[in-house]
Amino acid sequence: MIRRILLTVALALSVVSLDQPASAQGTAAQPQKITFLTNYVFHGRHSPFFVGLEKGFYKEAGFDIQISPATGSGFVVTALDAGRADYGMADPGSLIQQVAKGAKVKAFNVFMDVTTSGLASLKPYPTPQSLAGAKIAASLTDSARVTVPIILQMHKVDPSTIQWQTADPSVYFSLFLSGQVDLFTASIDGDMPAINKVAAPQGKTALFASFADWGYDVFGYFLLTRAERIAEKPAEVKAFSAASVKAVKYAMANPEETARIMVKHNPTLDVDTTLAQWKQSIKAIDTPYMRQNGYGIATADRLQRTIDLTKQALKLEAALAPGDVFAPGFVAK
């Protein structure tokens, strides 16, 4: 009789285990090793992911996460498409461009609602037209190589009027301050606090021209993965999305602690600069659109507008709908 009861209990427990979501099973077993790519060398914008690592949000969701830097959004999309990483963050323009060319990658979460990207310079560039003849430093995979032509087309400016100086992000500052380039692709939340800290001893002040101010009304950054993973492992993607949302919300509510965590994991960074960067990032996340629709959510109309704008500027022939670049339903409202 006792033996029969024990067998019944064991069977019931096994059924409960099978009914648990993948994330819960991953927590009970060995966490799944995954690689996450940031779009750039580490700075304040990437702090939430290290908060998720430090606070155990990813581990609770069943992941052993490795966070690695990249050299641009284009690199991230290519790496994911080739299976060299599991998850990443990228600019929507780069994602749309590569999906149109056949990349099997799809976004599932809006990390930042509006772009923090733009161009840094030592003299004012008030309009896209003022860029004519300028030399801009950017890596081959930098999202600015997609974004700037979009903006120029919007303002009826020929993209060939600017010069691109191919360079690694690690040398942007030196090229810029030595006068070898007029501008470099920059972000108000990542590069501007850092470049002005370097430029101040030379008596120089870097100025910022925002892509958003020039009419680039698209999402800032997406979280993305291979389309195959979304189709075959939806529970895993939802678990990763939930952990990331939890990390972002914690980081927004605790910016000072977030900066300290980021520097703990990346000792070469400065706490004050990291904090200044992250506070600028928060402004690009906590927008009226986000408060209306919910964090991480993308509406079909805004996705379509982003797609149409990118296709027109880059002369893409592929017919793309919102569902081709973004998978809804992976962010809990």
Q: Could you read off the pLDDT of 83-99 as tens digits, one per residue?
A: 999 999 999 989 999 99
| % of the chain residues with pLDDT over 90 | 76
Name the least confident of 12-26, 152-166, 198-212. 12-26
Region 167-190: mean pLDDT is 94
Q: Which residue has the higher pLDDT, 37 or 5?
A: 37
Q: Which pLDDT does position 28 carry in this prediction?
A: 53
Helix, strand, coil share (%) of the chain residues, nearest 5: 55, 15, 30
Residue 169's alpha-carbon distances to 73, 201, 281, in angstroms, are 13, 21, 19
Q: Which pLDDT does position 314 carry in this prediction?
A: 77
How many C-beta atoms surround the C-beta of residue 243 within 10 A?
24
Return the domain boundaries, the chain.
22-114+219-325, 117-214
Q: Which residue has the higher pLDDT, 295 or 17?
A: 295
* CATH annotation of 117-214: 3.40.190.10
| 148, 137 contact by CB (below 8 A) | no
CATH topology of domain 22-114+219-325: D-Maltodextrin-Binding Protein; domain 2 (3.40.190)
Average pLDDT, the chain: 89
Question: Considering only CA atoms, which of 117, 329, 86 is closest in space to residue 212?
Answer: 117
Report whether pLDDT(208) > 70: yes
Do the domains 22-114+219-325 and 117-214 sit in the same CATH topology, yes or no? yes
Region 276-295: mean pLDDT is 94
Q: Which pLDDT does position 16 carry in this prediction?
A: 31
E strand or H helix that includes residue 32: strand 32-37
pLDDT band at 217 (very low <50, low <70, confident <90, very high): confident
pLDDT band at 82 (very low <50, low <70, confident <90, very high): very high
Q: Which residue has the higher pLDDT, 306 or 107?
A: 107
Report whether pLDDT(331) > 50: yes
| Burial profile 46-68: b = 16 or more Cβ within 10 angstroms, e = fewer | bbbbbbbbbbebbbbbbbebebe
Phi/psi at 38 (nearest 5 deg)? -80, 165
Nearest-10 Cα torsion for 79, 81, 86, 89:
70
Q: Which pLDDT does position 142 carry in this prediction?
A: 87
Strands, E assignment, 167-311: 183-187, 207-210, 221-226
Q: Could you read off the pLDDT of 104-125 as tens digits, one per residue?
A: 999 999 999 998 989 999 999 9
Q: Which pLDDT does position 311 carry in this prediction?
A: 85
Q: Could you read off the pLDDT of 18-71 as tens digits, one per residue?
A: 333 444 444 457 999 999 999 999 999 999 999 999 999 999 999 999 999 999
